[in-house]
Amino acid sequence: MKLKLILFFIILFSNLSVAKSQKITFLEPEHDFGQIEENGGNVLHTFEFINEGDSPLVILSVKPSCGCTTPDWSKDPIKAGSKGYIVAEYNPKGRPGVFRKSLAVVSNSETNSQKLSTSTYIYIKGKVSKN
């Protein structure tokens, strides 16, 4: 009986030590559009990331720092070792000058789950010139 109990706890704790995790790693965390024209239309950039964890990564939301930036992202879970994307579309109309905007990426990544109020950030920047 004692041996069965010991084996039970060994199996229980060995399963707990093999915790599943997700880790989001961006190939390029910041993109510079350079100089863009105010009346040239929206510009966009696709950020690629890799799930370096060992279980599926889910992007829960992407929150831009202002209404001038519109995000889109991988909606399906990203398998371990696979790539996903986040698209940032910036509208330069009426915004001459230098800009740097952030996008807060909320996911089930271990980076985010350890600190409930923290997100992973990516950035776009550039300079809008008047036409």
> Average of pLDDT values for 90-115?
86
Segments forming the whole domain that contains residue 39 = 20-129
pLDDT digits (tens, 9 = 90+) for 54-85: 999 999 999 999 999 999 999 999 999 999 99
Q: Is residue 39 in some structural domain? A: yes
Residue among 84, 81, 80 nearest 59 (CA) = 84
Phi-psi region of 38 (alpha: psi -120 to 50; beta: other; left: phi over 0): alpha
Residue 64 is part of a domain; what is its CATH number? 2.60.40.10
Q: Which residue has the higher pLDDT, 6 or 27?
A: 27
Counting residues of the chain whose pLDDT is more than 70, the rounded percentage is 79
Q: Looking at residues 90-105, what average pLDDT do you find?
A: 97
- Cβ pair 57, 24 in contact under 8 A: yes
